[in-house]
């Protein structure tokens, strides 16, 4: 695959001196966000130890403030009578927070109230990175100097200029000073970058932390990484937009997955491959997992074996499930799961009358063979008895057409069956038939999408993060990718030459084809070069597909310098 120059990134992530923190404190009417309200919000925004903004407002909780809370905070009902309600306050507070790291003393309390307020007022919680100064204090202070981790105790230890007094802004100011005092101490333990903060919440054993030096040689660019064991064996394959930061995070953040922790204990080295785009990295990951079979990847259990539905090779064929690297003509799929394959078989049997018995029938029915009850109910033509076998060839032909993508007969029959069961108020059976029909249509739609992709070669482009991202595909495989600031047509011509350069073996993995299709189907994608027939699929499943701008009049822009 071709690649281009990447945007320059910080070598080892974001230094804490450049990280924006918003320290927040709340005053409330009680301890539970389910039945108590916020009475005051105070917040301090800092960067590099300097205060760059403050936020403070009283809030009308919508209920009387208990006398005990009044005595503690000094906030009375009269003070909040003219104050805004929390629904009016949250938009301005969330804007003040932005994408900063949210800091609080006993963060579970403050964050719990803020999340509850967002949920109650219909606002999306931004899911910021959260730092709890109580957790930091357990790592940055000793029991002798801070026998408890109360804010007043820590303020005394770090000599803050502001004394906590149970008012939101004052307490937020004191917490901010405590935060920076603790970060200065923790710098001696390697906590110097934003990516290191998680290590404070989830302690990492020293044996693993020492392995963080593996990241020193890793570039801060998007791509694929491979952890290797003592004998050079592949342990785990993954992708990241920032390889150095991701590799380092394994050894600085507390890993809770038992398998990955075991992998890290075995890891002796890491290899990386820089990629031009996220798509290229994801495709390379799939290929490497397929080739290397790393023991700690969940995807490593033969990812190319998807389920397909086919007719058996018999005189009177049945439907069966098979698994193979790629489907053949007359196979329906790939199915999303084994259960979906079984549902599809049931749908085809009900709609077309394909026999359900597992007996391998003789070419000529036996003289005294007798049919089962399915013949009497009209569910099977019973090729097992004389006089009935001749009509089964038409049933088999209709089944082959359905497996090849023409599911119109199946759709018509099962839609009628759903309506019939619904009229009889047998909604459970109607649901079963509907789900079986969905499995057939979904498989036929996937089949047509993959066939359309495999039938042509494409170079496409779309705008991502103020740059042009290009990809090339041929025969369903990704053959090249690039990201450029300008010169899109030159990059497209180079990628076009990659159509016939890539050797990927006898088959293209289904997962790779799906990744390529999802990239092409995203809004804003434009086709620059097309070789072969790239068209919206036809047939009974075509109406169930949503194809992006493949056939738009402007999908192949003219070579106008003003376009790119």
Question: Cα angle vertex 64, ends 58, 67, to 5°?
Answer: 95
Q: Rounded to an integer, what distance in angstroms lies between the CA atom of residue 6 and that of residue 8?
A: 6
CA distances from 174 to 30, 104, 170, 447, 467 (A): 22, 11, 6, 62, 43
Per-residue CA distances from 556 to 450, 458, 481 (Å): 22, 11, 18
- According to DSSP, residue 360 is labeled -
Tell me the torsion sign for CA atoms 75, 81, 86, 88. negative
Please give the distance of CA 324 from its chain centroid, rounded to a whole number: 26
Q: What phi, psi does 99 have (nearest 5°)?
A: -105, 25
d(Cα 133, Cα 494) in Å, to the nearest integer?
Answer: 53
| CA distances from residue 468 to 480, 524, 557 in whole angstroms, order as listed | 14, 11, 14
Q: In whole angstroms, give the CA distance from residue 161 to residue 262.
A: 46
Q: 237 preceded by cis ω (within 30°)?
A: no
Q: Is 166 a catalytic residue?
A: yes
Long-range contacts of 72-81 (CB under 8 A, 24+ apart): 72/166, 73/27, 73/39, 73/40, 73/166, 73/167, 74/166, 74/167, 75/27, 75/39, 75/40, 75/167, 80/39
- Report the candidate in 65, 80, 60 with the shortest Cα–Cα distance to residue 29: 65
Catalytic residue among 166, 180, 507, 529: 166
CA torsion angle 91 95 96 101 (round to 10) = 120
Question: How far apart are the C-alpha atoms of 344 and 333, rounded to whole Å?
Answer: 10
> What are the residue ranges of helices labelled H in 240-337?
243-252, 258-266, 278-292
Over the Cα atoms of the chain, what is R_g? 32
The closest alpha carbon to 492, from 505, 480, 504, belongs to: 480
What values do phi and psi take at 137, rounded to 5?
Answer: -65, -35
How far apart, in whole angstroms, are the C-alpha atoms of residue 435 and residue 441? Answer: 10
For residue 214, CA distances in Å to 223, 238, 275, 320 come to 16, 15, 20, 49
Kindly list the catalytic residues.
Answer: 166
């Amino acid at each position: 695959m071709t690649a281009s120059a990447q945007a320059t990134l910080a070598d080892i992530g974001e230094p804490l001196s450049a990280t924006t923190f918003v320290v927040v404190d709340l005053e409330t009417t009680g301890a539970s966000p389910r039945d108590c309200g916020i009475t005051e919000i105070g917040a301090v925004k800092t960067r590099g130890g300097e205060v760059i903004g403050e936020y403070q407002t009283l809030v009308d909780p919508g209920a009387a403030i208990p006398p005990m809370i009044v005595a503690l905070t000094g906030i009375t009902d009269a003070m909040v009578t003219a104050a805004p309600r929390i629904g009016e306050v949250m938009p301005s507070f969330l804007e003040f927070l932005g994408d900063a790291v949210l800091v609080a003393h006993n963060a579970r309390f403050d964050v719990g109230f803020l999340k509850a307020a967002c949920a109650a007022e219909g606002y999306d919680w931004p899911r910021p990175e959260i730092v709890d100064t109580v957790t930091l204090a357990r790592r940055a202070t000793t029991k002798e100097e801070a026998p408890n981790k109360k804010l007043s105790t820590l303020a005394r230890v770090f000599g803050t200029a502001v004394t906590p007094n149970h008012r939101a802004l004052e307490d937020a100011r004191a917490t901010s000073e405590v935060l920076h005092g603790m970060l200065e101490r923790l710098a001696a333990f390697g906590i110097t970058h934003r990516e290191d903060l998680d290590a404070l919440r989830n302690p990492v054993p020293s044996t693993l932390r020492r392995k963080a030096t593996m990241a020193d040689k890793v570039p801060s660019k998007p791509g694929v990484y491979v952890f290797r064991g003592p004998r050079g064996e592949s342990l785990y394959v993954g992708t990241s937009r920032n390889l150095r930061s991701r590799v380092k995070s394994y050894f600085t953040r507390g890993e809770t997955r038992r398998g990955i922790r075991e992998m890290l204990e075995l890891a002796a080295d890491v290899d990386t491959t820089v990629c031009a785009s996220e798509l290229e990295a994801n495709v390379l990951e799939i290929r490497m997992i397929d080739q290397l079979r790393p023991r700690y990847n969940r995807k490593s259990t033969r990812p190319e074996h998807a389920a397909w539905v086919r007719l058996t090779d018999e005189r009177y064929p049945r439907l069966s499930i098979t698994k193979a690297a790629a489907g053949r003509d007359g196979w329906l799929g790939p199915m999303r799961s084994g259960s979906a394959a079984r549902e599809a078989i049931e749908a085809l049997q009900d709609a077309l009358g394909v026999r359900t018995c597992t007996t391998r029938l003789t070419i000529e029915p036996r003289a005294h063979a007798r049919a089962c009850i399915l013949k009497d109910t009209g569910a099977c033509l019973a090729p097992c008895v004389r006089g009935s076998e001749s009509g089964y060839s038409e049933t088999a032909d209709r089944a082959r057409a359905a497996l090849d993508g023409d599911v119109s007969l199946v759709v018509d029959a099962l839609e009628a069956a759903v309506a019939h069961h619904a009229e009889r108020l047998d909604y459970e059976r109607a649901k079963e038939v509907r789900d079986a029909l969905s499995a057939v249509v979904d498989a036929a739609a996937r089949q047509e999408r993959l066939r359309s992709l495999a039938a042509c070669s494409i170079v496409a482009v779309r705008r991502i993060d103020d740059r042009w991202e290009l990809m090339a595909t041929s025969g369903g495989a990704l053959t090249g990718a690039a990201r450029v600031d300008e010169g899109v047509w030159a990059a497209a011509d180079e990628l076009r030459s990659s159509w016939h350069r890539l050797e990927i073996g006898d088959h293209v993995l289904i997962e790779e084809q799906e990744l390529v299709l999802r990239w092409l189907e995203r809004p804003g994608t434009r086709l620059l070069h097309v070789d072969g027939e790239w068209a919206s699929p036809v047939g009974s499943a075509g109406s169930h597909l949503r194809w992006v701008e493949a056939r738009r009049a402007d999908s192949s822009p003219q070579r106008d310098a003003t376009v790119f």
